[in-house]
Structure 1
């Protein structure tokens, strides 16, 4: 597969769409949209194939350009970004990858957006017990140079059943466990931007491996998948 890129034409189209976010303009520029969408899909498919060298990926999901405006005060009909997510294969592989291309707002993200109730409790119980291995991963210098700090929504106080004075309460209060890496337009347009994404996703694997282990075992380390 040829090494794909995101071109300035895609950034320019998204900028124009943001300025002219209406159906009449979009209909008149549908051919531009189709070309730019094809470019980004090819880019995402390249990432999908290359990621298979170090992870097992079930599928790529490309998100639609059309906004769901039924329950939104913002009635503009189109997103001004292209984005896609990559799902890992199997019950023993947790976590997900996301790529977002937007003028002035491009980023990649990975982690656990909204763990279901049982998974969230299991994670919190693990942090209550021990965070040594987690901190060894996310506080590693090389890891932080790429991914920075763990982010995500969190409670204002300790969740029910947990001690507010627990030394790991900052982790226990979290409802999401996400890492985000932002990029400038100049970085997005670089020839090897796809390789930058791939290396970033490769470096998140120790975190995924740990979290997958936690979410597929009980507090005694016994498998929940047997």
Structure 2
């Protein structure tokens, strides 16, 4: 089994976190290409067959621009932090219609001590959030299976950030999954230790994660009238 990332990948990202400026980045750009960007694009290409088995409507695009891999450059136009680069690398495995409508995605994150795999909708628009909440009200049994199954919850946690203090207006407080209706993000994640990220079983591990996350993504696609 081949490996993708290495200690050199983490060394570059740790260095970038300490020296987040254009001069340092350009003097170490070859390390970025060799140890971070290049391996990530190769991983995305190798995940394509497994992703097609999960859903023919999802894409792992190993393109330099406009594909799954996020740019390492930060958008600082409206940010207080003007650091020009992210100190992590991420990739989004996206729905074929995601450029037309808001859609759930799978996500991979590379960062020393903070690697993870995730899936769902993050910071959705109000209308998307409303549709998901109403779908859960109307389909509680399949929500329980998708988001609260024993196998799923043994491996993944639901994102609890930014939950509402109170129930959203118009939703029943005595609903079986009332806590879920208070969520602002409908996403699940699992941490991946650095040794696994740099080891030979990373691709197989991620293929299993994509399959386990699939029912949640399928449910969210159904809530938003998207194919899965």
On whether the aligned pair clears a TM of 0.5, the verdict is yes
Of 59-68 and 180-189, more deviation after overlay is shown by: 59-68
Report the counterpart of residue 187 of structure 1 in structure 2: 196
1:68 partnered with 2:75: yes
- Once superposed, what is the RMSD of the aligned Cα atoms? 2.6
Report the counterpart of residue 64 of structure 2 in structure 1: none
Residue number among 119, 144, 153 corresponding to 1:144 in the alignment: 153
Structure with higher Rg: it is: 1
Q: Residues of 2 paired with 1:203 and 1:58: CA distance? A: 17
- Compute the displacement of 1:3 (Å): 4.0
The TM-score with structure 1 as length reference comes to 0.84
- Compute the displacement of 1:195 (Å): 1.3
Contact 1:62/1:83 (CA < 8 Å) preserved in 2?
yes
Q: Any stretches of 5+ residues in structure 1 without a counterpart?
A: 218-224
Report the counterpart of residue 118 of structure 1 in structure 2: 127
- Compute the displacement of 1:150 (Å): 4.9
Q: Residues of 2 paired with 1:159 and 1:26: CA distance? A: 45
1:36-51 alignment, distance < 5 Å: 36=35, 37-51=37-51
Report the counterpart of residue 12 of structure 2 in structure 1: 13
The TM-score with structure 2 as length reference comes to 0.83
Contact 1:108/1:182 (CA < 8 Å) preserved in 2?
yes
Q: Residues of 2 paired with 1:63 and 1:209: CA distance? A: 24
Report the counterpart of residue 24 of structure 1 in structure 2: 23
